[in-house]
Chain A
Amino acid sequence: MAAVDTTVTRDTRARFPITEVRWSTVVAPLVLGALFLLSWELVVDRAEIEPFILPAPSAIWEQVTANTGNIVDGATVTGRNALIGMLAGAVLGVVGAAVAGSFRFVDQMAAPVVAALAVIPIVALAPVLYSMFGAAVNTGRIIVAGVSVAVPVYLNTLRGIRQVKAVHRELMTAYAAGPLQRIRSVTLPTATPYVFTGLRVASSLAVIAALIAEYFGGPIGGLGKSITSSAASSNYPLAWAYVFGSIVLGLLFYVVTLLVELWFSRHHQPA
């Protein structure tokens, strides 16, 4: 009996679907976007719509190129708030889920609170937080972003923690592994793709929360503040240019978290 194993191995590449995207899937939405912009431009031009109702894409783009520095500065301020909030919220969500996953009564206690938190429009708390921490600092905005992120991350992580396979649990029991070893070797790695799914969903929420929180006051400099002040001074194309900046910022957050998610789930079997 030859000891040589002739079993054919399966696809030996790690699953990182971004490398398998076909051109058509990229081109098709680009074409649609171009068509949309073109018809927007034409409609504004032909129907002679006033800029304070809807500026043409070309006018907005003009403002974008003329104010690139300001938009980038604003995006940096808002992005910083969103990023800090997101990281803090993610840590809070993961730790909370780890605790709730380990102790059933914590989960039961927290479930209604989390449900309540999920339906509160967190941004509505911004004015309250400004008076709490002072309107001259970004703390209130960071908290708003953080809480918006913590909820989806918590819920997704908790779901991930519950996906731990029975055979892995028993293996850990057979190894007489301690509770922390269990969490580190099996529970958290199982939950990791779910954590990042939550984070991906939350990433755009973080930007939106940080941005909208600026509408309610606080220090100037962010994109949200710039949108309101440009609109208040009737410079609508500029307001739209800042909106464009916030779309790019939101996309940036989304794409980065998406890539991180794909990276971390590359060896997990597709569900």
Chain B
Amino acid sequence: MTEPAISVTGVDRVFGKGRKQVVALTDVDLTVADGEFVALIGPSGCGKSTLLRLVADLDTATSGEIKVFGKGARQARLDQDYGIAFQQAGLLPWRTVAGNIELPLKIHGAAPALRKARVAELLELVGLTDFAKNHPDQLSGGMQQRVAIARALAESPRLLLMDEPFGALDEITRERMQNELVRICAETGAAVLFVTHSIPEAVFLSDRVVVMSPRPGRITGIVDVRADGLADHHDRTERARDQEGFFRAVAEVRALLHGGASTSSAGVEPAGVGVEER
């Protein structure tokens, strides 16, 4: 498959009219290859969520072109080419865990037997088999988010859009979820566009980290984590968090976020390790 998962060319998004006009995104170009994990990072208001919503066709670009697997964003949505997860798990509280995961399949008219098999598979994947019959209000935040990820994966999309899916979780749960996401991505081979506030999260998960800045929202730089000597493509282990390349990539992303030049040649900064910059 040579078609990129996402291809964004010259996209602008302007909210409002006249003097109250807010430029959320200006002249954004971004390509996400098939099977690639790309994180969008930047301070609040830099338009990273807006960009994700444009790709998901939950919002429409003012100008520019967005293609998902070579199709227009709208067509890609109608064809269900992507799975999506938000910061809030957004589960339907009146449905069981299994019922929530099943929802997209049910809406798109999959046969009951097929649905059942797929749900069992996904429950296994996110390690919630024992909770199939529970309702969301009986689960912890981390478990709810795993249900949401399973739901996003229900139709085996080749693209996952994730808008700060771990943003509301505590640090410990968060790291565990990151490890699981890495495993899930390795198993499914899906491309991921991942919005986050956390530098270590972005570096740990991604092949490339896209750094954005606000007013107007734009891409200020891209850090290719693979080039920084981290573990191989989608083969991250827990160890990766302690490797030198990891710290170097974190430092580079941080430098870009603070508007400085790339500091890839600079030494490792152990003092900053694990500190999340929000």
Listed in ascending order, the chain A residues whose CB lies under 8 Å from chain B are 1, 3, 5, 7-12, 14-15, 165, 167-168, 170-171, 173-177, 181, 185-186, 189, 192, 267-269
Contact = CB atoms under 8 A, between A and B. Distances in A.
Main secondary structure of the interface of A (DSSP, over half): loop
A146 B93 CA distance: 31
Contact of B138 (A11, A175, A176): A11
A55 to B, nearest CB: 49
A175 B127 contact: no
Contact of A9 (B78, B80, B95, B138): B138
Contact of A267 (B90, B107, B137, B238): B137
B108 A175 contact: yes
A175 B103 CA distance: 9
Contacts of B98: none
Contact of B104 (A168, A173, A175): A175
9 contacts: A7-B140, A7-B173, A10-B140, A165-B88, A171-B84, A175-B103, A185-B106, A189-B94, A189-B95
Contacts of A176: 77-78, 80
B22 to A, nearest CB: 19
A171 to B, nearest CB: 6
B142 interface: yes
Given A165-B90, A176-B77, A170 B137 contact: no
A237 to B, nearest CB: 49
Contacts of A170: 58, 86, 90
A253 B82 CA distance: 49
B179 interface: yes
A261 B38 CA distance: 46
B90 A181 contact: no
Contacts of A185: 92, 103, 106-107
A176 B88 CA distance: 20
A175 B137 contact: no
B165 to A, nearest CB: 12
B94 A269 contact: no
B71 interface: no
B158 to A, nearest CB: 15
A14 B93 CA distance: 11
A9 B140 contact: yes
A181 B107 contact: yes
Given A189-B94, A269-B93, 18 more contacts: A1-B176, A5-B127, A5-B176, A12-B138, A14-B135, A165-B90, A167-B90, A170-B58, A170-B86, A173-B77, A175-B104, A175-B108, A176-B77, A176-B80, A177-B107, A181-B107, A189-B92, A268-B93
A185 B103 CA distance: 8
B140 A8 contact: yes
